[in-house]
Structure 1
């Protein structure tokens, strides 16, 4: 009798190459990005390790290495390389990493993430944005930047804790909040570069 083993994306290990003949394989659907890049499935993952693994895989899988191979192998290399890129881009940034972790837990992230924003937060964001518009010196922009960095660090801890406890709706609301503060951080960077 055939036993079908249903494994979750986190149980699977990607096989980029055949173990016996070392020929590149097609990408395996349903493997988690964490497994592709061999890193812990945690919100506070080690991004240096992530980067190292990404570069190592891209050296192995890059289509340039397969220009002398068959068309099929060239195609597999392009697909594998694109998948590794997508996995890396998703896991590198805390926001996309957190949303991806929620998806792995079965919580579909629709467009409706903004409904979690309460009026108190909207007021706070409005005030920060107004202060940023009124900034006259790099020092003033820097102050807002440092303050935002602190808020993002605090949110990272809260999101990590919510995900560890399986409180997915809380994590989703906190990630929405993180999105807004990450936007402010970007605006601060733009402001500071305008003083260069």
Structure 2
């Protein structure tokens, strides 16, 4: 009986940790809230982001791809952080207004910036 209880305890602990991590991150929390409302985020290929936004993402990607750009990495990191904070504030306001379509658009943008953040982290890891 003790083995069974330990197994269930471990399973519940794992679920609680996963839930906590989901709710801790603004992007995963927002995606979860959309999911609760039956809304799925579009794939990046059919994202309806405006062309100005996509140009901004492309420019940041190009800066990240430049060789020997260690000096620019801090600037890019700050830009990404500021953009993510702005988007988090905007998506929170959209959810508070119950504007799920606006929240969906903002979360799609947050996902782009999260991808840039991952690329930046990989650039900063010493080879």
Q: After TM superposition, is the score higher than 0.5?
A: yes
CA distance in 2, matches of 1:129, 1:159: 24
Answer yes or no: is 1:171 the counterpart of 2:66: no
The aligned runs of 1:8-87 (5 Å cut-off) are 69-87=1-19
CA contact (8 A) 1:102 1:108 kept: yes
CA distance in 1, matches of 2:20, 2:82: 25
More divergent stretch after superposition (180-189 vs 165-174): 180-189
Q: Which residue of 2 aligns with 1:109?
A: 40
* Distance 1:138-1:82 versus aligned 2 partners, 3 A rule: same
TM-score by length of 1: 0.57
Q: Which residue of 2 aligns with 1:183?
A: 115
Answer yes or no: is 1:95 the counterpart of 2:27: yes
* Distance 1:75-1:125 versus aligned 2 partners, 3 A rule: same
Contiguous gaps of at least 5 residues in structure 1:
1-68
CA distance in 1, matches of 2:34, 2:81: 23
Q: After TM superposition, where is structure 1 displaced by more than 4 Å over at least 4 residues in a row? A: none
CA drift of 1:161 comes to: 0.5
Secondary structure, counterpart of 1:194 in structure 2? coil
The aligned runs of 1:129-140 (5 Å cut-off) are 129-140=61-72
Greater Rg by CA: 1
CA drift of 1:113 comes to: 4.3
CA distance in 2, matches of 1:97, 1:84: 14
The Cα RMSD (Å) is 2.0
Q: Which residue of 2 aligns with 1:54?
A: none
Structure with the larger RCO, 1 or 2 (CA within 8 Å, 6+ apart): 2
Which structure has the highest helix share of the two? 2
TM-score by length of 2: 0.85
CA contact (8 A) 1:102 1:172 kept: yes
CA drift of 1:131 comes to: 1.4
Aligned length: 125
